[in-house]
Structure 1
Amino acid sequence: MSKFKAIPVLSTVIMCFCISITAVAKNSPQLSDQKPQKSVADTYADLKSQARNNPSVVEIITSPDGWQVVYEKKIDRTVVWSFTPKTEKAYPAFVRREVTAKDGLVMRVVCEAKKQDCDALVETFNRMNAEAIEEAQ
């Protein structure tokens, strides 16, 4: 788990007032209210374009171990996207976490790797979320 700790602490702190966690992996059924998924690469390209056009709203940070973390600042919430580096077994994948007053923490995972590697990624982020919630209480 130590390599995941390099993900910026801010993304974990943002999630501290979380209530519920929902994860949807590409290999599992999508939630009925979800749009069909774009690929991981297309999603990153869209966010990168938004960051170029509006850097005060979308910011991309590369961690020392290669994770691409995207902060999307919205009026009523912050969305944190964590894109796996090529060195991760779960590559390509992203974890999207957002906190809303209504739903608390909502996490969505799109993973194009092997199911077992995607499941491990989801488990790691669920553990990180739970630790952040525990520390906040």
Structure 2
Amino acid sequence: MVALDRLKNYAKKLKQELFVLYLSYKDQRTPWHAKAAAICVVAYAFSPIDLIPDFIPVLGYLDDLIIVPLGISLALKLIPPIVIEENREMAEQLKMNGKPKNWFVGILFIFIWILFTVWIGRIILGYLR
């Protein structure tokens, strides 16, 4: 039970840090390379598409357990500390007022994945011809 509680708390913290990354991405004080890292991590974390599909035993979840936390850590190191602190406070306030919802960003991520899939499909078809 203690291990399960620790895992739940860790998952909540990761989710909160993802929202901090999203808010930092929108902040003008964040350098462009940090914005690129932040949006890639957020997109990967919320994307239904993984590098290793989840249906593959053990390995399917390992990419989520390793790539997402490492990506969050890297992106947070690229963002100025003052921006992170302010966005942590803002994320906490938004969380208290109800979960943030942004349908536009969700639709944007789906659109990006569709474009990526079409691009990869064209590359594969080009090699098969």
Give the TM-score category using the shorter length: under 0.3
**Greater per-residue strand proportion:** 1
**Greater per-residue helix proportion:** 2
Larger Rg: 2
| TM-score, normalised by the number of residues in structure 2 | 0.28
| TM-score, normalised by the number of residues in structure 1 | 0.27
